[in-house]
Amino acid sequence: MNPDPERLFKIFCNERFLSMQGLSGEEAIFIQTYDVAHEDLVCATIRSLAARLRNSGINVGEVDLFSLVLEEMKDGGVLEDFLREETSYHPADRVETLKNYADSKQRIAPRLLKMMAESGARVTFLSGAGHVYPFFRAHTLLDCTQQAEFKHPVVLFFPGDYIQIPGKGSQLQLFKTTPSDGYYRARNLDHYRL
């Protein structure tokens, strides 16, 4: 099932959602799943939602995880060399290089948290989880940010499922096939009620 833009707009405009009320001390991390076959439509929906919210006076942070990794590589001074020499890399070496610069704990989570703190956003949208696989996993980023005290809700748009597995808790399942190892205290936005 794909997200209903009108329903999401109502949720994201709601002051209770924006002020993180009713979370019982849990982090304000939400997962919005979608079918990867509709990636282009969902990307357009995210951009449209962000524009509509801004037009309504709500500041939105938009973070594409792939762009975040590229920024990390650029700041590390390796992006141009990597792109120039990419075809000469063995595929395993290419993935390993990307993994090094996509390290959630040391690189990406601190960069994301800094961006969020400086943005003045009332809600942040994370996208691109499918574009960074297999060198970066969204569940690892969520694990690394769980201790952060978010000042606003964070919504991860995820191409797959967010399911409950008995004895293992909540699991992100990328492309509906690749299960993760993580447990999340994130909330499934499909189950959110105004």
Q: What is the three-class DSSP state of 171?
A: strand
- Please give the average per-residue pLDDT across 116-131, as a whole number: 93
pTM score, whole prediction: 0.89
- Please give the average per-residue pLDDT across 134-153, as a whole number: 80
**Across 107-111, 123-127, 161-165, 176-180, least confident range:** 176-180
User: Does the structure show a pLDDT above 80 at 185?
Assistant: no
pLDDT at residue number 35: 94
Q: What is the three-class DSSP state of 48?
A: helix
More reliable by pLDDT, 180 or 11 = 11
pLDDT at residue number 104: 81
Q: What is the three-class DSSP state of 16?
A: helix
Q: With the C-alpha atoms ordered 95, 96, 102, 104, is the resulting torsion angle positive or negative?
A: positive
pLDDT at residue number 174: 83
Alpha helices, DSSP H only, in 76-151?
79-85, 91-101, 109-119, 138-145
156 phi, psi to nearest 5 deg: -95, 115
* Nearest residue to 48 (alpha-carbon basis) of 7, 3, 15, 5: 5
Q: Identify each DSSP E strand in the chain by its residue range.
A: 29-34, 60-64, 123-127, 154-165, 169-174, 178-179, 187-188
144-179 per-position pLDDT tens digit: 787 677 789 999 999 988 877 777 677 787 887 766
First to last CA, the chain: 20
Which CA distances in Å does 116 have to 12, 23, 110, 122, 151?
Answer: 17, 20, 10, 10, 9
Listed by start position, the domains of the chain span 5-191
pLDDT at residue number 183: 57
More reliable by pLDDT, 61 or 149 = 61
Q: What angle do CA 69, 75, 78 make, to 5 degrees?
A: 80
The model's confidence at residue 123, banded by pLDDT at 50, 70 and 90, is: very high
Distance CA(113)–CA(178), nearest Å, equals 26
8-46 per-position pLDDT tens digit: 999 999 999 999 887 666 778 999 999 999 999 999 999
Q: Based on C-alpha coordinates, what's the Rg of the chain? A: 17
Q: Are 58 and 15 in contact (CB under 8 A)?
A: no
